[in-house]
Amino acid sequence: MFRLTIVAFHGEPKTKIASHTHENPIRIVLPLVILSVLSVWFFYSPNPIDASIGWFHHRVVQPESAVPAAYQWDFLLQDHHGAATVEHTAHQEGHHYLNVLQEETHHFHYMAMFLSLLIAGSGIALAFAIYQYKLISADALEKRFKKLHTFSYNKWYFDELYHATIIAFMLAVSKAMAWFDNYVVDGIVNLSAQFTRFAGYVTGIFDNVVVDGAVNLTASVTGYFGAGLRKMQTGRIQTYLVFALIGLLLIFYFFI
């Protein structure tokens, strides 16, 4: 944050566009002012290290504990003597703790506050040292910790990681499924159609060769006999008389 502040607002304008900048119109300044006021402590409480005297503290309903019920193990809910519900009044400041949990959490409050202030302060100091007073060269630092710098510059490669894992995986799955749908599921459908067509083809051949063959066979057999017998139809009375005589002789031979 302070690198941003120093680079952007302190020192001389670095580019031509920057030297032409001017104060923003009211429609931008007003929301910014309101948001700034809302972010400063005295808006909520006159005392920066004790919120309990401010109006905000009284207006909001506080939860019983910031620790979820699942993590409030039994041993934490006892006081130092092991009694479950006795009010602990060891502290003379007027604080009352129902159990170890509340007491221990409270002890960490100040430590957490000072620690975060310390870390923030050193960060600010470092920003001033590097960018405002140029005590340390940013370029030299960059060269020294080249790998760390690239890593940080690329936002820990988070986007790339995400692309290579989740997105690539999803796309691969979708590609595979679309392929599966096109070739396997629809393939089965088309295969069943092919099968039906093949069955139809076989039935067609059977119908053409066997069933219709039998019909045609009957016809050709009939025709064959017809062609053979036709030769007997000579039209001459003498031939018919001979046939009649042979027939008569055969009847005599078989039946008499």
Binding site for another protein (CB under 8 A): 170-171, 173-179, 181-182, 185-186, 188-189, 193
Q: From the CB of 179, what's the least distance to another protein, in Å?
A: 6
Which letter does DSSP use for residue 46 in this model? S
Cα–Cα distance measured from residue 117 to residue 123, given in angstroms and rounded to the nearest whole number: 10
Axis crossing angle, helix 100-127 with helix 2-9, rounded to the nearest 10: 30
Residue 34 or 171: which CB sits closer to another protein? Answer: 171
Q: From the CB of 41, what's the least distance to another protein, in Å?
A: 37
Residue 187 or 226: which CB sits closer to another protein? Answer: 187
Listing DSSP states for 76-119 in one string gives: GGS-TTS-SSPPB---SSS--BSSHHHHHHHHHHHHHHHHHHHH
Residue 117 or 193: which CB sits closer to another protein? Answer: 193
Q: From the CB of 199, what's the least distance to another protein, in Å?
A: 14
Q: From the CB of 189, what's the least distance to another protein, in Å?
A: 5
Q: From the CB of 201, what's the least distance to another protein, in Å?
A: 17
- Tokens for 8? 């952007």
Residue 189 or 209: which CB sits closer to another protein? Answer: 189
- The SS3 call for residue 141 is helix
Residue 122 or 174: which CB sits closer to another protein? Answer: 174
Spell 50-66 as b/e; 16+ CB within 10 A means b.
eeeebeeeeeeeeeeee
Q: From the CB of 69, what's the least distance to another protein, in Å?
A: 23
Residue 192 or 216: which CB sits closer to another protein? Answer: 192
Helix count and strand count (H, E) for the chain: 12, 0
If one counts every other C-beta atom within 10 angstroms of the C-beta of residue 79, the result is: 19
- The alpha helices in 20-67, defined as continuous H runs, are 26-38, 55-59
Cα–Cα distance measured from residue 248 to residue 252, given in angstroms and rounded to the nearest whole number: 6
